[in-house]
Structure formats: C-alpha cells, structure tokens
Amino acid sequence: MNKDKVRKTALHTIDVVGIKIDTRHYIGGQRVASAEAFTNTSPIDGSFLGDICRGTQKEADLAVAAAKAAFPAWAALGPKGRGELLLRLAELVEENIETLAQLETMDNGSLLRSHRRGVMPRVAMNIRFFAEWAINELQHPDFETRGHTNKISWDPSGVAVLITPWNAPLMLATWKIGPALAAGDTVILKPAEWTPLSASFFADLTKQAGIPDGVFNVVQGFGKEIGAALVAHADIARISFTGSVPTAKVIARSAADNLTPVSFELGGKSPCVVLEDADIDLAVELAVEQYDNAGQVCLSGTRILVHESIADAFALKFKEKALQIIQGDPRDEATQIGPQIHQVHFDRVKGFVDRAKESGANIIMGGEPNSDLGGLYFRPTLVMNPDPTSEIVTSEVFGPVLCLQTFKTDEEAIAMANSTEFGLAAILVTGNKERAERVAKQLVAGTIWVNCFFVRDLRAPFGGSKKSGIGREGGNWSFDFYADVKNTVVSPNGWKE
C-alpha cells in the first residue's frame, strides 16, 4: 500500500497559489478522470495542494492508443513541420516562466529564484534546442562504398514512454520530451507522483501551441500501477527513465518481454577530488555547492576526497562556509536550500544519518533535522572519514549529506573515486593541467568537471557509467535513441533516367 493517502475522487480543477491546475490526465488532447485519486502536498509546509487523478491499466491503454493513433501524422510532418510547433511551445513556456516557477516551487520545494532565473528558462531552451537540432544539425555526410552511396537518416520510432523524477520535474522531463517530439515520436509522460503539477500545466501549453491531439499525453499515478502498465505495453517503442537503480531493474525486466529499447539515467555517488595543488578556496566553494537543492541532485559530488596534507585546512574553511548556508522557505529570496521533497524521503535521509551515528561516524556538522524550521528541513551534514565500506559512503543518500575522506597519492584518490557501483559524474580540483588530464582520464564517470561544477551543454553527451545508467542524452545521442537510425545504400547501377 502506498504511504500517500489515496482518495476516491478528485476535483477536476485545483487552485495552487492562484494558478488553476487540472488534476485529470491529459490523453488524446482531452482531460480524462480516474475513479480514484491520490493526495499531493507541498514540502514547504505540508499544506494540502489537491487530489490528483490516479491512473491504472485503463488510463495506460487509453494513452497508448491515443499516442499510437497520432504517430503517423506527427511523423509525416518532418523536422520542419514539427519544429514550428515546438518553437511555439518554447515561446509559451517563456511567457509563463513566473507561473511555472511558482507552481514548481510549491510542488517540489526547490528555490523560487532558481526556478525563475535558471530552471524554467532551461525548460524552454530544452524544447527549442532539440527542435532546431533536428532541423539544422541532425545529419551525416554521405559516404561511398565501392561506388555505392550510403545515406544515413533518423526515422521516427513510435510511442515513447517518459518516466521522470521529482527533483527538477519539468526541466528533466523536457530533456526527454524535446528530443522525443523533435524526432517524430509521440509521447506519454508519467511524472513523479510527488510532483505532478507542472506536467499538467505543461500539457495545457502543448494544446495552446497547436501540438496535435495524442502527440503529447500526461498520465498521473504510482509507478507500481500505471507506470508498470506502460512499460509492459507491447505498443511502446521507447522507454526513457530517470530515477533509482532498483526501479530501473523492474522496468528493464518488463521492457525485455517486448525487447523495448530503454534509456536510463540513474543514481550517483559522485566524488569531488581535491588534489594538494588545488586552489583551496575554489575547492571549498565547489564542495559546499554540493548542498544545492538540499542535496537532491543526482550529479552531486557527495564524496569529498581531499589530499591529507590540506585536509585540516580544507575542513576548517568548508565548515566555516557551509555554516553560513541559509536554510528556509524556498520562496524567500535569501534562502539557499529548502526542504526534502516528502516525509518518506526525509525519513530515508534521516535513517542514513542515524545509522551512521550508531556506527560511530564522526559527524562534525549538522546530522539532524532543522528544529528551528521543523517539517522536512534537514540540516546540511558533513561526515568526517567514515568507514569506506559503510552505506553512507557507498549508497546514494540524495539529501544534504556529504562525506569527507582523505588520500595520500593520486592513485589512491582514483581508486577511491571509482570504488562505488555508480559512475554518473566526478569533480576534480587541481592547479596542474597535465595532472588534471591524467587523473580525469582514469576516473570512471559519464561527466567530469575540472575546477567547475554543473556546466551543462545540450550538445554534449550526458549519462552514467556502471550502474548510473544506460545510454546518453544530448545532441545526436538523444536522436540515436528516440529514432530508428537507417542506412540507405544506393547503387550506381540500374537507373533508367
């Protein structure tokens, strides 16, 4: 039984900070109600936001049928025809940035100022980038084989199911929506049940943009119910999921029955490696930045590995800076980190820290809920030199909890950095370019930042190594997944004209 309260009915429209949100699914261009609903609350203060329609096999079948029916005409539009509509959608997002920012902050507790200035503009950028890439960049030069011409093309593949997380709901969803629609696929989006609101509002924007009915659909509910129904459906051509490793394994088993291609962006336990020649102030700044979004960032460098010769000075400066972090209501301009997303997740984060305490870990900062704020606010926490085999080091906590460990040599640092089952990202801080190149080459991760963090370009491949994922997103890599890549070989012989 899901721990979220389940209700029998839902109002069709709710008011969230003055914004009208339809609580029903969006299927085939129409709003579709469900027999049951689930409760949605704000992590900011636990306030009730509304009851959201809870989808089952019935709604999954309706969404797949609608998307399948809409596919041929959408595919036939071609990149330019689709691009015109997607560019209009990007404009509508830009016109509604304040509305989307307010809505997302209430629903997932991230900073309002970040949503206004960075996250929601990025939503529009995601859509515009992939629409324009399909028109202008998605191409491969013809090449000859014994006088025969090879022509590479990217054909729409069918219905894509996109299952997205709660930590940056609409931004992470449009990383998938943008390329899937631009490639000519039709889409069924299943947002996280803790943060369904921005997806519903976005569906209305697709309608306003003139996206044909059935091309974009939104279904709401729990992963074990409607999510499971979608990924097991025989008429699905692609499944893209961002979330946890255990859930990905369940999806992969279902997808295997139909040989449905999958793309997974999964967990991380990324290292932040600080060599002894690093600019220590820069290193501290980058390390403290890992508390961003209250630690609910898959890319965060939560394992801070510092050369033993500078560890004491680093720890002192780190603690001094981290203690200045302002935690509070994410709607306040001065706030730097907000709450955890949900009581279930808060309890999970607290459980990791409590067990670390019980095992004798040296927690030099935080380590407890913020009693001044109450609710779902957990203090930024630093664990010093924990047991390298302990779960606080090896498992993804996904909260404001960092570990600081020391090393003696570059080789030891590399071994420690690569020691978990994850390989999503890594941060390397050093003052020597040759050393940076040598060490970075040996780090196992999909993205490595040297003397920086969270610099993302949609032209670059994004994804994880080891259990941090399957596949890459960005540029042609996204289209390689959402499309069927075709090679047409044309002979010089047999032509009559």
Burial class (CB in 10 A: 0-12, 13-18, 19+), 372: exposed
- Tokens (6 digits) for 52: 């959201």
Cβ contacts of 222 within 8 Å, gap of 6 or more: 2, 4, 38, 54, 193
Place of tokens 């993804």: 396
Q: Are strands 159-163 and 238-242 parallel, antiparallel or unpaired?
A: parallel
Per-residue pLDDT tens digits for 1-31:
344 444 555 579 999 999 999 999 999 999 9
- Tokens (6 digits) for 145: 């084989």
Report the candidate in 102, 96, 104 with the shortest Cα–Cα distance to residue 121.
96
Helix (H) or strand (E) holding 102: helix 97-108
- At 497, the pLDDT band (50, 70, 90 cuts) reads confident
Q: What is the pLDDT of residue 269?
A: 98
6-266+468-486: CATH homologous superfamily? Answer: Aldehyde Dehydrogenase; Chain A, domain 1 (3.40.605.10)
pLDDT at 329 over 60: yes
What's 45's DSSP letter?
Answer: T
Q: What is the pLDDT of residue 5?
A: 47
Q: What angle do CA 284, 289, 294 make, to 5 degrees?
A: 135
Question: Is the entire prediction scored with pTM above 0.95?
Answer: yes
Query: For the CA atoms of 4, 5, 11, 13, what is the dihedral angle to 10 degrees?
Result: -30
Catalytic annotation present for 84: no
Alpha carbon 230 to its chain centroid, in Å, reads 19
Q: What is the pLDDT of residue 3?
A: 43
Report the candidate in 74, 59, 72 with the shortest Cα–Cα distance to residue 230.
59
Q: What is the pLDDT of residue 11?
A: 75
CA distances (Å), 389 to each of 156, 345, 444, in order?
46, 23, 19
Helix (H) or strand (E) holding 68: helix 57-76
Catalytic annotation present for 265: yes
- Tokens (6 digits) for 274: 């600080």
Per-residue pLDDT tens digits for 209-248:
999 999 999 999 999 999 999 999 999 999 999 999 999 9
Let me know: does 446 contact 424? Beta carbons within 8 Å: yes
Q: What is the pLDDT of residue 2?
A: 44
Any idea where the domains of the chain sit in the sequence? 6-266+468-486, 271-450
Q: How far apart are CA 400 and CA 402, in angstroms?
A: 7
Q: Pick the catalytic residue: 53, 272, 298, 403?
A: 298
Let me know: does 262 contact 78? Beta carbons within 8 Å: no
Per-residue pLDDT tens digits for 187-199:
999 999 999 999 9
Question: What are the strands, taking DSSP E only, across 167-311?
Answer: 186-190, 216-218, 238-242, 262-265, 271-274, 303-307
Q: Is the dihedral of CA 190, 196, 202, 207 positive or negative?
A: positive
CB atoms within 10 A of CB 209: 19
Helix (H) or strand (E) holding 487: strand 483-490
CB atoms within 10 A of CB 8: 9
Per-residue pLDDT tens digits for 107-150:
999 999 999 999 999 999 999 999 999 999 999 999 999 999 99
Per-residue pLDDT tens digits for 265-290:
999 999 999 999 999 999 999 999 99
Q: Pick the catalytic residue: 225, 265, 396, 473?
A: 265
Question: Class of 271-450 per CATH?
Answer: alpha beta
Section 385-413 average pLDDT? 98
Let me know: does 384 contact 315? Beta carbons within 8 Å: yes
Q: How far apart are CA 111 and CA 329, in angstroms?
A: 8
Let me know: does 108 contact 43? Beta carbons within 8 Å: yes
CB atoms within 10 A of CB 360: 9
CB atoms within 10 A of CB 33: 14
Give the number of residues written for the chain: 497
